[in-house]
Structure 1
């Protein structure tokens, strides 16, 4: 299966400090589901920033959607970013917009008709349990509700690559399972999914997923790290 992401000898440092990521050599296959784990400070958020193009590597090469980004100019990056859905740990909702309009934003930017937008947004808000909160602004939503709006916004365009940073950290266990099911459904449609999490139970409940583990900026055993977590039972494909 073709790779949607390839890292070749990638390193990243901020300013003149030590590298926070080093010697990153791996590829992510199109249509696969990955969990990214590691202790706090291991470099998970930095790796995600490279994946969704918020950061450029200090060294090495990254290929995304089959194209080498080494020489890509700033004006070329938006076209790549439109193919990526991102769930940020701090949500990054637009404060003056309602939940409905926050979720609709990527579709409006892409030029969809308002009738299509209304139908799609209502469906996804119902899925994440916020159908009755469509008109609410972020300040009136709980942390878990804001998280669900952020996830709905990230998946509304059915992106080719979905990158999520601790996407279930502010919701209860039942909603975490429901959101993971949503990611699984999107994965079934061909989206490559990368979820950073500390939740070992979440990982164990998703036998379809492959595991990537970071240790102090280094991907541990990259040739064998993409495996199911120990002691997890094989189950049907959908989580």
Structure 2
């Protein structure tokens, strides 16, 4: 099977600039394979957040080609983008919780959008809040939560629907080391179920916590490939979803 048909995401010579400024990403080419775990690293300002925006379809590139789920997403009609985005779980640095909704309702949002009934929603959302240690804060609104608690709600919301791709921007930046490790184990568990995971982080200690992970490194808008992550599929078989 070819890399193109076997991949879940493919970037070819992608460039990104904002307005008339110089490119923030240049000649980005890589392939992401189903069921793999990737760390995206690089110094502050290297372009990590910009690359994630391309991955969760919040930004179109200035040049190059992006294929996702077997489709060219650059030429995809805007009317079809929401359906594609529902296949991607995203953890933002600024959380983006809905302010008038409780922690429970924020986490439940992807399931409600997918059409699940209220009876089906309660158990998985309650279990997820228990996992991230927020069962006692399920009725709290975001404004009453600490930064670390908001981060955990955002992560729970991103993974609750078992997305095909999880994109996380510094997901452990607002939690203590013990909770950071627990959240990383949650990402690993989701990965074992078949989700392709991409975690952007500047914390080099995290890179050693997931033995089967692959590393992509950005430097001044260009991508290097220290582990062969960009050229070859992982050796291990992804677990069936």
Structure 1 counterpart SS, 2:24: strand
Matches within 5 A, 1:52-71: 52-71=56-75
Aligned equivalents of 1:204, 1:32: Cα separation in 2: 16
Partner of 2:86: 82
Give the C-alpha shift of residue 154 in structure 1.
0.2
Aligned 8 A contact 1:213 1:225 in 2: no
Aligned 8 A contact 1:144 1:171 in 2: yes
2:190 aligned with 1:197: no
Q: Residues 44 and 200 of structure 1: is their aligned pair in 2 closer, same or farther, counting only changes over 3 Å?
A: same
2:191 aligned with 1:171: no
Give the C-alpha shift of residue 70 in structure 1.
2.5
Aligned 8 A contact 1:87 1:167 in 2: yes
Partner of 1:73: 77
Matches within 5 A, 1:1-239: 2-221=6-225, 224=228
TM-score, normalization by structure 2: 0.92
Q: Residues 226 and 59 of structure 1: is their aligned pair in 2 closer, same or farther, counting only changes over 3 Å?
A: closer
Aligned equivalents of 2:229, 2:108: Cα separation in 1: 37
1:5-28 CA deviation, whole Å, 9 max, x = no partner? 000111000000100001011100
Aligned equivalents of 2:230, 2:65: Cα separation in 1: 21
Aligned equivalents of 1:141, 1:38: Cα separation in 2: 30
Give the C-alpha shift of residue 67 in structure 1.
1.0
Aligned 8 A contact 2:38 2:215 in 1: yes
TM-score, normalization by structure 1: 0.92
Runs of 4+ in 1 over 2 A off after TM superposition: 221-227
Aligned equivalents of 2:222, 2:170: Cα separation in 1: 20
Aligned 8 A contact 2:215 2:225 in 1: no
Aligned equivalents of 1:8, 1:158: Cα separation in 2: 27
Aligned equivalents of 1:225, 1:181: Cα separation in 2: 21
Give the C-alpha shift of residue 205 in structure 1.
1.6
Give the C-alpha shift of residue 71 in structure 1.
1.3
1:18-70 CA deviation, whole Å, 9 max, x = no partner? 00001011100110000000011100000000000000000011000111112
Give the C-alpha shift of residue 222 in structure 1.
7.1
Give the C-alpha shift of residue 225 in structure 1.
5.7
Aligned equivalents of 2:10, 2:135: Cα separation in 1: 38
- Structure 2 gap ranges (5+): 232-237
Give the C-alpha shift of residue 224 in structure 1.
3.3
Structure 2 counterpart SS, 1:19: coil
